[in-house]
């Protein structure tokens, strides 16, 4: 007999309490809950994120969302107020102790905020949720540091000027043996994931801000230095919880990055999903000044409960779904 | 040439890396939300036994090692080689000291062992988890000491030396756990 039993009984009540707590947090701040489609006609071209493709027997096909970002931005362009969503999202090829291909993402947008202010709100949200239950863990410290200072502090290099060769040498000094050819950004990803974040104290929230422009995704360039993008990430211990932007609203830059992503996908032989024409049109009509962030709810639950593996907080991970 | 992609990685998979067959002990998927994915892999070199960590860019392919575990019966030792036979095909293999890796002391004629072949050549031998062997030499037990749980060394027919309870006598057959080298019971 196959093992039919759901695997995360111990986390079930905590999940319900957390979801109620998140909704309470936003209700108190007058942020509107919205719903957008899981199944979409187009998909992001970001080469680092792969969409699941869903097909119907009648020949129709679409993509399962990797995040609700695009439709939520269309809502904002249409005049929606501050909005949030608890969304189920899907990512191809992402499976491991911290990844399930289907997971719960909390995404929200705030008018008139920049990425620094929104990062502070993310910290407030985590602290607020951690106080909901006396048995839950809570972060004891906060560190706010720029991407550049983080690399200088941990590895003694400047991530804005170091070339791939230098980054490779740093990785070698860290005892990392690598199989496969990496470009500059991949070396940076490797170092932050395997050499820097693992050294973060387990009870500390770390906000990393101002990423290299090459890792901007949909963040606008920083006003004080255009080599940087107004992007931030929040870690609890070594676990990445949230990623946010002071949102890019410039249409020409959006097109430039989309074309760059498309070219990269072609060059690497990745699938080319049908682009989302609606987002481009919405940006053309005007996206208000805002900041947005996505936070992994399952991972937050892992940290609150002290779980080491994501399947400890998901009753039906893909293998048994 | 068979290959495995990183998304097929799991414990037990055998890869050919740096010219040696290596088995995956642990595979960890690592990926920043908006960044490059990696597989952080702990590998055991099947030739040297050494364990090392390697990081693969996800999506890379790696050559599979033609490594096969085969059940074989141990036949005899000719002083230089230990000879094994596949019971179904009567195919015989001679295993040298390096591949035997010190497990010779647990080999008893007729016992079935797991012999790992790499490209058809013996790479390593795993003896049965439990073997039964006769004690060829040990000192007589001291009467009345059995309650104390004391032990004494006993030499087995294969030359292995294990600690046995004081009540066990020379000439008796004992069951031994080959993984720990510990006495289990009298037979």
Interface of B with A in 103-122 (CB under 8 A): none
Q: Does residue A30 belong to the interface with chain B, where contact is any CB pair within 8 Å?
A: no
Interface mutation target, options A190, A194, A234, A318, chain B, most CBs of B under 10 Å: A190
Mutate which of A90, A96, A179 to test chain B, going by most B C-beta atoms within 10 A?
A179
- Give the mutation candidate from B15, B31, B41, B50 for the A interface (greatest A CB count, under 10 A): B31
Place of tokens 């062997």: B133
Please indicate whether, in this complex, the C-beta atoms of B30 and A193 are within 8 angstroms of each other.
Answer: yes
3-state secondary structure of A272: coil
Provide the pLDDT for residue B141: 72
Phi, psi of A199, rounded to the nearest 5 degrees: -90, -5
Q: Rounded to an integer, what distance in angstroms lies between the CA atom of residue B103 and that of residue B86?
A: 19
Tell me whether 0.90 is exceeded by the ipTM: yes
Contact A193 B52 (CB under 8 A): no
Contact call for residues A83 and A290 (beta carbons, < 8 A): no
The DSSP bridge pattern shows strands A102-111 and A83-90 to be antiparallel
Q: Chain B within 8 Å of A38 (Cβ-Cβ)?
A: no
Mean pLDDT within B131-150: 77
User: Where are the alpha helices (H) located in B29-103, listed in sequence order?
Assistant: 97-100
Residue A145 sits at φ, ψ, to 5 deg, of -150, 145
pLDDT at site B48: 85
Whether residue B58 lies within 8 A of chain A, CB to CB, comes out as yes
Q: pLDDT at residue B181 above 70?
A: yes
Q: Is the per-residue pLDDT at A149 higher than 60?
A: yes
Put simply, whether A98 touches B (Cβ < 8 Å) is: yes
User: Residue B121, Cβ neighbours under 10 Å: how many?
Assistant: 11
Q: How confident is the model at residue B151 (pLDDT cuts 50, 70, 90)?
A: confident
Task: Please list every residue in chain B whose beta carbon sits closer than 8 Å to the beta carbon of residue A180.
Answer: 56-57, 59-60
pLDDT of residue B147: 56
Nearest CA in chain B to A231: B34
Name every chain A residue with its beta carbon within 8 A of the beta carbon of B53.
177
pLDDT tens profile A263-314 = 999 999 999 999 999 999 999 999 999 999 999 999 999 999 999 999 999 9
CB pairs under 8 A between A and B: 82
Dist. CA A27–CA B146, nearest whole Å: 74
d(CA B94, CA A97): 43
> Which residue of chain A has the CA closest to B35?
A48
Name the DSSP class of B187. Answer: -
- Report the range of poorest mean pLDDT among A89-93, B60-64, B86-90, B102-106: B102-106
Two tokens at A189? 């990803």
pLDDT digits (tens, 9 = 90+) for A57-103: 999 999 999 999 999 999 999 999 999 999 999 999 999 999 999 99
- Distance separating alpha carbons of residues A198 and B32, to the nearest angstrom: 13
Give the residue on B whose Cα is nearest the Cα of A197.
B32
Asked if residue B149 has pLDDT above 80, the reply is no
Task: DSSP letter for A196, please.
Answer: I
pLDDT at A224: 94
Under a CB-based contact definition with an 8 Å cutoff, are residues B43 and B54 in contact? yes
A190/B33 Cβ within 8 A: no
pLDDT at residue A211, rounded to an integer: 98
A218: which DSSP letter?
T
Alpha-carbon torsion A217, A218, A222, A225, what sign? positive
The band of B101, judged by pLDDT with boundaries at 50, 70 and 90, is confident
Q: Which two tokens stand for residue A112?
A: 């008139």
In this predicted structure, what is the pLDDT of residue B77? Answer: 92
CB-CB neighbors (< 8 A) of B22 in chain A = none
Is B37 within 8 Å of A46 when comparing Cβ atoms?
Answer: no
pLDDT tens, position by position, A225-276:
999 999 999 999 999 999 999 999 999 999 999 999 999 999 999 999 999 9
The overall longest dimension of chain B from CA atoms, in Å, is 73
**Average pLDDT in chain B:** 91
Q: In whole numbers, what is the pLDDT of chain A averaged over residues?
A: 96
Q: Which chain B residue's Cα is nearest to A233? A: B33
User: What integer pLDDT is reported at residue B148 of this predicted model?
Assistant: 58
pLDDT at B145: 54
Question: Is there a contact between A233 and B7 if contact means CB atoms under 8 Å apart?
Answer: no
- Measure the N-to-C terminal CA separation of chain B; round to a whole number of Å: 49
Rounded to whole angstroms, the Cα distance separating B144 from B155 reads 23
CB atoms within 10 A of CB B91: 11
State if pTM tops 0.90.
no
Do A97 and B35 count as a contact with CB atoms less than 8 A apart? no
Query: Which residues 140-179 on chain A approach chain B with CB closer than 8 angstroms?
Result: 176-179
Q: Tell me the nearest-neighbour CA distance from B59 into chain A, angstroms.
A: 9
Among A207, A232, A208, CA closest to A219: A232
Q: Which residue has the tokens 């991972």?
A: A299
Determine whether the interchain pair B38/A194 forms a contact, defined as Cβ–Cβ distance below 8 Å: yes
As given in the structure block, the two tokens for residue A135 are 């048995």
Subunit contact A190:B58, Cβ cutoff 8 A: no
Cβ-defined contact of A193 to B33 (cutoff 8 Å): no
The predicted-structure confidence for A72-82, as pLDDT tens digits, reads as follows: 999 999 999 99
Q: Where are the alpha helices (DSSP H) in chain B?
A: 97-100
Per-residue pLDDT at B144: 55
Specify whether the CB–CB gap between A187 and A167 falls below 8 A.
yes
Q: Is B163 on the interface with A (CB under 8 A)?
A: no
pLDDT tens, residue by residue, A173-200: 999 999 889 999 999 999 999 999 999 9
pLDDT (0 to 100) of residue A48: 94
CA A7, CA A24: separation in Å to the nearest integer? 28
């Amino acid at each position: 007999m196959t093992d039919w039993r759901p695997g995360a009984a111990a986390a079930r009540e905590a999940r319900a309490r957390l979801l109620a707590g998140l909704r309470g947090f936003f209700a108190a701040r007058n942020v509107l809950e919205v719903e957008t489609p899981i199944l979409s006609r187009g998909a992001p071209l970001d080469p680092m994120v792969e969409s699941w493709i869903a097909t119907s027997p009648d020949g129709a096909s679409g993509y399962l969302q990797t995040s609700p970002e695009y439709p939520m931005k269309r809502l904002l362009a249409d005049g929606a107020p501050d909005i949030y969503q608890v969304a189920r999202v899907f990512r191809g090829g992402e499976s491991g102790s911290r990844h399930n291909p289907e997971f719960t993402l909390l995404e929200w947008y705030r008018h008139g905020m920049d990425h620094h202010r929104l990062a502070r709100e993310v910290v407030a949200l985590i602290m607020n949720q951690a106080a909901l239950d006396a048995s839950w863990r809570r972060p004891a410290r906060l560190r706010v540091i720029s991407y550049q200072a983080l690399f200088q502090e941990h590895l003694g290099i400047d991530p804005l000027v170091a070339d791939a060769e230098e980054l490779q040498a740093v990785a070698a000094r860290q005892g990392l043996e690598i199989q496969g050819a990496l470009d500059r950004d991949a070396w940076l990803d490797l170092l932050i994931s395997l050499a820097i974040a693992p050294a973060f104290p387990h009870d500390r929230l770390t906000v990393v801000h101002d990423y290299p422009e090459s890792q901007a995704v949909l963040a606008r360039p920083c006003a004080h230095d255009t080599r940087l993008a107004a992007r931030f990430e929040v870690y609890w211990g070594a676990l990445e919880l949230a990623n946010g932007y002071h949102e890019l609203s410039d249409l020409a830059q959006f097109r430039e990055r989309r074309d760059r992503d498309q070219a990269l996908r072609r060059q690497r032989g990745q699938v080319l999903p049908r682009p989302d024409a609606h987002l481009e049109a919405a940006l053309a009509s005007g996206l208000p000044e805002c900041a947005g962030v996505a936070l992994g709810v399952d991972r937050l639950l892992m940290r609150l409960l002290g779980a080491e593996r994501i399947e400890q907080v998901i009753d039906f991970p893909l293998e048994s779904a | 040439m068979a290959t495995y992609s990183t998304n097929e990685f799991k414990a037990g998979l055998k890869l050919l890396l740096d010219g040696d067959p290596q088995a995956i002990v642990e595979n960890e998927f690592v990926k920043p939300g908006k960044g490059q994915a990696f597989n952080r892999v702990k590998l055991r070199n099947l030739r040297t036994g050494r364990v090392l960590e390697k990081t693969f860019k996800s999506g890379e392919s790696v050559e599979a090692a033609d490594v096969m575990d085969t059940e074989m019966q141990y036949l005899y030792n000719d002083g230089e080689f230990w000879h094994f036979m596949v019971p179904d095909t009567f195919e015989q293999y001679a295993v040298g000291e390096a591949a035997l890796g010190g497990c010779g002391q647990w080999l008893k004629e007729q016992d079935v062992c797991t012999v790992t072949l790499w490209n058809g050549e013996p790479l390593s031998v795993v003896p049965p988890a439990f073997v039964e062997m006769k004690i060829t030499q040990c000192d007589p037990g001291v009467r009345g000491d059995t309650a104390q749980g004391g032990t004494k060394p006993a030499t087995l027919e294969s030359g292995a030396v294990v600690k046995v309870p004081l009540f066990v006598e020379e000439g008796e057959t004992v069951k031994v756990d080959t993984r720990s080298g510990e006495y289990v019971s009298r037979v």
